[in-house]
Amino acid sequence: MIRTALVTGAGGGIGLATAIRLAADGIHVLATDVKPRPADLPDDMDYVPFDLIGGHPADLLDKLGGAALDYLVNAAGVALFDRDGSALDTDETVWSVTLGVNLHGLRHLTTAAVPLLRRGQGKSIVNVASTAGRVSRANSGAYSASKFALIGWTDALSLEEAPHGVHVGMVLPGFVPTEGFPQTELRQKALTRLILSSPEKVADAIYEVGPGGRSERYVPRPYALAAYLRVLAPRLVRRVLGGGAASTFTPATPRR
């Protein structure tokens, strides 16, 4: 029996790489993003433009024709940084859009999709969070807050859906160059290029968490150390990060 996956954020970056990765395993993928269909998406893959903030989840799920859903991958997200905005002064539009996409939009879609997942074979949800959801930097308060909230919601959802046989996991990428978040400064130096990953590696991690059944994965794996240190040595982490503000890049398109 053919398995079916719904992948958000598939207009580029991690979402696109994930859609291609799942399709390579024989999974029927319904890909979606707020952007038009990307040229890199295979011609035989279904694609539906969808706005997580303004769209109605039922309209998107109707494209499945009433079929059960095996995998939901919430890879869509935005990383908007207000050039001069601190955690106190970030523009309200940045807060609204960031929380709207990174938390509330995928929450509404997931809520609508759960009944279909409970009838599926794979019964798996993967939320793409971020290492920034464990360790925050200066000038990235809205983004980190959205990912911290997503992680907490994912943990709760995992416990609640376990009795229904639905596995809920997450992937926490570090710095991943994408169209919406090119990581230009980090790519310019040989040393900092070592801490970068790729959308394809994140897609492999999503596969491990979704069909593979793992609880969570950091990408690259050593990024988990930052999360551990945040708990074990919070003062040290704050001292290290004290001199480094977040990028002032303000993308016009979703990061994922």
Would you please indicate which residues are annotated as catalytic (active-site) residues?
A: 143
Measured CA to CA, the distance from residue 204 to residue 156 in angstroms comes to 24
Q: Is the peptide bond before 163 cis (omega within 30 degrees of 0)?
A: no
Q: Are 70 and 3 in contact (CB under 8 A)?
A: yes
- Mutual orientation of helices 106-118 and 141-161 as an angle, nearest 10°? 20
The CB-side HSE value for 177 (13 A sphere, CA atoms) comes to: 12
| H or E element that contains 125 | strand 124-128
- In the three-class reduction of DSSP (H, G, I as helix; E, B as strand; rest coil), residue 109 is classed as helix
Q: Are 38 and 11 in contact (CB under 8 A)?
A: yes
Amino acid at 25: D
